[in-house]
């Protein structure tokens, strides 16, 4: 509608990552393990997509904590399956 305010997107901001983080992320993505931070009200939730099966971390967090958890999950799957 013409009189409605256009909705602005929601962003969790920026999280500094290391080269080691990116190595784990790429390894996981190559094996169909994708993890994302998604909005949940005013906070954020971590979504895990493993072989096209979607799982949500039950805890709802602030953006910075959600990003930390995202990289923890990537590390967990990298360490668990990279033998």
- Split into its structural domains, the chain has a count of 1
What does the pLDDT read at residue 14? 78
The pTM of the full predicted model, rounded to 2 decimals, is 0.84
Does residue 11 belong to any structural domain of this protein?
Answer: no
Does residue 1 belong to any structural domain of this protein?
Answer: no
Does residue 73 belong to any structural domain of this protein?
Answer: yes
Does residue 3 belong to any structural domain of this protein?
Answer: no
Residues 4 and 67: their CA atoms lie apart, in Å, by 32
Q: What are the Cα distances from residue 65, in Å, to 2, 16, 43, 53, 56? A: 38, 12, 10, 24, 15
Which residues partner with 3 through β-bridges? none
What does the pLDDT read at residue 66? 94
Does residue 4 belong to any structural domain of this protein?
Answer: no
Does residue 65 belong to any structural domain of this protein?
Answer: yes
Q: What average pLDDT does range 56-66 have in this prediction?
A: 95
Q: Which domain holds residue 44?
A: 19-81
């Amino acid at each position: 509608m013409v009189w409605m305010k256009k909705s602005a997107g929601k962003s969790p901001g920026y999280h500094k990552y290391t080269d080691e983080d990116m190595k784990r992320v790429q390894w996981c993505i190559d094996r169909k393990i994708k993890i994302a931070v998604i909005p949940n009200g005013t906070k954020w939730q971590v979504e895990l997509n493993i072989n096209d099966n979607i799982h949500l971390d039950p805890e709802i967090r602030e953006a910075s904590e959600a990003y930390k958890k995202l990289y923890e999950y990537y590390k967990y799957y990298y360490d668990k399956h990279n033998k």
